[in-house]
């Protein structure tokens, strides 16, 4: 019998959080191998199993998988969260690629220059409410079902609930103009596996704060000033 998947990452959200969400939605228990120092990360690289010398990495089914989208597609396909045919998969891919754009903006937002933080926040909220949320609101309305694609939970739905909650952390009430998304959030949050993941004490990680940012920066040996400049 295969063991539990092992997630190699630092103790924070980052790009691994979407993997955690998808495994939770699939009902898959997993272990986390969390490195806290640059030395631990370097030892992982020296082990020769980390393609491109980058994380996230997920040990699963005898593989050492890297590249977030490759990991997510594998999990979605393995656990029947990737549609019933190529057409449904195409729509799922289109939706999640848009969500990735928004997700990445939010992931890197805490690393903004202090004097540019409000400008960057306004930009994220403008993109969320004028470009991305209207797409999902219309999709749910036009589709007439409980989910974005087909009539069952898919990878797209899991990533959408994650992104919606992340935007709400930046601005509560941001869904006020999107009744279908409000219904979607309430409905999906009550699914037993999702509800469990949302409970205190679950593997879900909190938003990035100054302390967790410093830990991750030291692990990856990132120049703080260059990072701030790039993120802004």
What is the count of structural domains for the chain?
A: 2
Show the beta-strand stretches assigned E in the chain: 6-9, 31-34, 57-60, 63-66
Instruction: Give the domain CATH number at 12.
Output: 3.40.30.10
Co-location of 132 and 114 in the same domain:
yes
Instruction: Give the domain CATH number at 94.
Output: 1.20.1050.10
Tokens in use for 93? 């891919």
Co-location of 184 and 217 in the same domain:
no
Co-location of 222 and 162 in the same domain:
no
Q: What is the pLDDT of residues 126-137, one digit of tens each?
A: 999 999 999 999
pLDDT at res. 1: 43
Asked, for residue 41, whether it belongs to a domain, the answer is yes
Question: CA–CA distance from 219 to each of 13, 50, 105, 184, 209 (Å)?
Answer: 15, 16, 22, 38, 16
Q: How far apart are CA 77 and CA 84, in angstroms?
A: 10
Co-location of 101 and 69 in the same domain:
no
Query: Residue 96: pLDDT above 80?
Result: yes
Co-location of 92 and 186 in the same domain:
yes
Furthest CA-CA distance within the chain: 53
**Which domain range does residue 54 map to?**
6-79+200-231
For residues 8-15, average pLDDT: 91
Co-location of 101 and 136 in the same domain:
yes
Co-location of 14 and 94 in the same domain:
no
Q: How far apart are CA 47 and CA 227, in angstroms?
A: 27
Co-location of 152 and 208 in the same domain:
no
Query: Residue 228: pLDDT above 60?
Result: no
pLDDT at res. 209: 77
pLDDT at res. 225: 59
Q: What is the pLDDT of residues 36-90, one digit of tens each?
A: 888 888 998 899 998 998 899 999 999 999 999 999 999 999 999 999 999 999 9
232: pLDDT confidence band, cut at 50, 70 and 90? very low
pLDDT at res. 231: 47
């Amino acid at each position: 019998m295969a063991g539990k998947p092992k997630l190699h990452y630092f103790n924070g959200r980052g790009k691994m959080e979407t993997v955690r969400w998808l495994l939770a939605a699939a009902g898959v228990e997993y272990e986390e191998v969390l490195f806290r120092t640059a030395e631990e990360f370097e030892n992982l690289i020296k082990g020769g199993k980390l393609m491109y010398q980058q994380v996230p990495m997920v040990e699963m089914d005898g593989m050492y998988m890297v590249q977030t989208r490759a990991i997510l597609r594998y999990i979605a396909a393995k656990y029947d969260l990737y549609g019933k045919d190529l057409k449904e998969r195409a729509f799922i891919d289109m939706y999640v690629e848009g969500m990735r754009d928004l997700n990445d903006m939010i992931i890197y937002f805490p690393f903004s220059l202090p004097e540019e933080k409000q400008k960057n926040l306004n930009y994220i909220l403008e993109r969320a409410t004028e470009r991305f949320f209207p797409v999902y609101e219309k999709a749910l309305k036009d589709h007439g079902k409980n989910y974005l694609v087909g009539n069952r939970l898919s990878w797209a739905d899991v990533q959408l609930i994650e992104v919606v909650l992340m935007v709400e952390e930046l601005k509560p009430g941001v869904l006020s103009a999107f009744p279908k998304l409000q219904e979607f959030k309430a409905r999906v949050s009550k699914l037993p596996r999702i509800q469990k993941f949302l409970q205190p004490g679950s593997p879900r990680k909190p938003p990035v704060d100054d302390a967790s940012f410093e830990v991750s920066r030291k692990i990856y040996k990132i120049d703080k000033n260059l990072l701030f400049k790039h993120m802004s």
